[in-house]
Structure 1
């Protein structure tokens, strides 16, 4: 098993190719794309996988906003991020989660997305969130939770992060059968597939070297 020092060297390798400004831009841009995709899913009444999916479940089942749920759900995963990925990854991930939580609260005030068709919301929402995660992954950050586990498993065992996350997402979406109609669930699954295929196809170290 790779120890913390080995993983720290893997994640620290990005410092030679991405500057702090590059990383800051990547984290902000990735978070903004994720928020846009989340807004599409939310306005279509859909769910997704990962910690956003857990936050959606809590949001639909309670009176709490998505942003608050998303921030709270990610709190337990920072310890794993720090132990396995190092402080730099943890700080960037915390920043991405904080930005996403904050913008998801504010964006509806400035961007009206009403009457979003569930299938369209699934296709475009999944694709946009996938693009946002790609930006975060390439700058050694994530949206926390399942993303941290997926990235660790990819570096430890060589399994693609997108496919790993797809398995976790399937389990999370299974819980949605208690909260949504079959059509909404079907569209949510389509969105999760689009999101994770975007990651699986594009997030490969042999195709992207400026990490």
Structure 2
């Protein structure tokens, strides 16, 4: 999708335990409404600045968004699993190719790309294939601004979205206003192209 952060990040080289710790803190926040001031500690523990090149303030902002995302997922999970009509929102910038090698067709009426399943090792292709088998309507979006339009016209009960933490937070406000249950999967690498998300995390969320 678009890139609301004023910085880029790549968490693909950070220890996997980092994400386990994020989930644990998010769980605590979801249960107790507070997680403590742990961002600075985690930045040092996982050497986040060295791994990502982020300054302290940007790293703290990123961590806070990730923790908030996990907490919101927990609080919404029970409501989400009871929904039937669901949609999956994927960022078009996570496609393997961003040029003519990607055979996806763009439908400006929705607006969304329609996956042509041209690359077996494309994360978006994998996500689309599994989600459609589970009965999801799938949208590969050029930007987060498309989300409100789709939600207001399609009337989904549940939504799974893949995006950066800040964009998920913004879309979360729209979901709340419309009474739609949401689950979010964060990008582990942002930018305007070649962004990445953990496919296995997404499959567990669907």
Q: TM-score, structure 2 length as denominator? A: 0.28
**Higher relative contact order, structure no. (Cα contacts within 8 Å, ≥ 6 residues apart):** 1
Of Structure 1 and Structure 2, the greater strand share is in 2
